[in-house]
Amino acid sequence: MKKKIFIIFIFLIIAAAGTAYFMVWAKGRSVSIDGISNSAKDIGQTYNSLAPLAEPIKISQESLTGDFCPDGINKEGQLLRPVGVMLAADGSTRPLSGIAQADVVIEMPVIVGGINRFLAIFQCTNSDEIGSIRSARDDFIPLAAGFDAIYGHWGGSHFALDELKKKVADNIDALKNPYGAYYRKRGIKAPDNGFSSIERLREAANKLGYRAIQDNAYGYIRINPTEIISPSVKYKLDIKYPGKNAVSWLYDPASNFFVRNRGGLAEMDKNTKKQVEAANIIILKTTSRRLEGQYNDVRVMGRGEAIIYRAGQEIKATWEKNTNKISSRLRFLDEQDQEIPLAKGKIWLEYIDSMTSTSYIAVQ
């Protein structure tokens, strides 16, 4: 009996010592009961060895979508820089690869009264195929820089290439194709056969010596979902770009997203086989001028009228981008010059001039 008591006593001493050791070890590493270190909470790194998390922890900087962004952070929990890629809007390139996976998409005319082009910006999704890739335009460069994005393109207008030679933005040009960042896809005619991937572009950017970590918080203030009173009916936003570039966004109250159509057809993604959807559609009213031949130049710096569509709501705003700093963030302000919160999720920016009309009406 005494022997049994002695064994139990020894066991309790060992258990107590082990517990004390763990507490000292944990304190030194700031490990909390849910398995997340205090330092990890600051940088978004999680430890799942003790217990699964009920929800993702916040990272140190805001992602472009405002959501937890596991594919957009490194092992230290730091947000990676976004990658922006110029994409075609030509009918022959549909469906585009990666268009629904981008966190931010900017649509803007590149020819007076004619073709639009996209700048698709990726941070939270590692798209395996992106294309068809198109050339750079000078007015897209400040927009890429404003999101701290590495700028991917296939050649460019001489206006754009002249600007990029000044090192105003980190860029990866497919005509130079550093480190095999781009490729031509078999079975597709040029110029529609230019493609890449986030992995290829990030690898090339790393070898080119570009900064990998997002420098500043380029995200947006996000509204608390409980503060949004969404309409219970469907709405349709029409953006009457010329011809087959005409766009409509249909708001679905069931999903609280807008789904996109272009030229009367659903805007599909070749990768996901799904229709493009977004949480925020923002119309930016501006002016443009003819530069040379068919090339135009859209004013993307300064201030102008904007309309924000989020959760079915239509909100008048002012867009602003500092004319003295190409990397300044594009902001959306109310009448008191306070930033307007956006809904969590993807953002589409639609630049229009005075010749492009819009409407927003309830539909059955």
**DSSP secondary structure of 246-291:** -EEEEEETTTTEEEEEETTEE-BBTTT-SB-EESEEEEEE--EEEE
Spatial distance between the Cα atoms of 262 and 268, rounded to a whole number of angstroms: 10
- In degrees, rounded to 5, the angle at the alpha carbon of residue 312 between the alpha carbons of residues 309 and 315 is 40
> Domain 61-364: which topology?
YerB-like fold (3.50.90)
Q: Furthest-apart CA pair in the chain: how many Å? A: 102
Contacts of 176 (CB under 8 A, 6+ apart): none
Span of 15-29, 53-67, 100-114 with lowest mean pLDDT: 15-29
Angle at 311 between CA 305 and CA 316, to 5 degrees: 20
Answering whether pTM is above 0.85, one says no
Among 66-70, 328-332, 339-343, the range scoring the smallest mean pLDDT is: 66-70
Closest by Cα among 256, 263, 269 to 238: 263
Exposed (0-12), middle (13-18) or buried (19+): which is 257, by Cβ within 10 Å? buried
pLDDT at residue 246 above 80?
A: yes
* Per-residue pLDDT band at 32 (split at 50, 70, 90): very low
Q: For the chain, which residues make up each domain, given as ranges?
A: 2-59, 61-364
Amino acid type, 30: S
Residue 310 has pLDDT above 60, yes or no: yes
Q: Are 218 and 338 in contact (CB under 8 A)?
A: no
